[in-house]
Amino acid sequence: MTTNLRRTLQRPMLAAAALASVAAMPFPSLAQTSMGSREFQQAELSELSPALRSEVERRVAQAPGNTPRGVLESMLLNELQIREPASRIVGLDLGRGVVVIQQPSGAMKAYTFNKQEGLRVIGEVSLAR
């Protein structure tokens, strides 16, 4: 009887231990967030013009979970939708100030922008196939 009872009790305990060890493991998707550290966010904000910085900070404060980078990306993407309404954004490098779009015809175009000037587009290049 004692052996059967021990086996019966060991199974749920082993299952619970296995679940606890899996829950304690860091998931790669959780370890790599787009939010970045507080220092990184402050560095990004310091690159902005005072007017753009205050706008970004206002939008971040409006909704919990917003990040400076997320707000900047949304502002830029909204601006591009106005400029190229039927296009699809295929690449964005906020740090380098470059965004690549695909037009409905399939042609690609790269825009450069300046964070100091309110994400204003300062150049464009049509990319040939």
> Which segments of the chain does DSSP mark as H helices, in order?
2-24, 28-31, 38-46, 50-62, 68-83
Q: What is the pLDDT of residues 33-80, one digit of tens each?
A: 555 688 888 888 888 888 889 999 999 999 888 888 888 888 888 888
Q: Mind listing the pLDDT tens digit for each residue in 77-127?
A: 888 888 888 888 898 888 888 899 999 989 999 998 887 777 778 888 888
8, exposed or middle or buried, with CB in 10 Å at 0-12, 13-18, 19+? exposed
- pTM greater than 0.85: no
Supply the DSSP symbol for 27. P
- From CA 118, how far away is CA 50, in angstroms rounded? 9
| Contact call for residues 103 and 86 (beta carbons, < 8 A) | yes
Joined tokens for residue 77? 């993407």
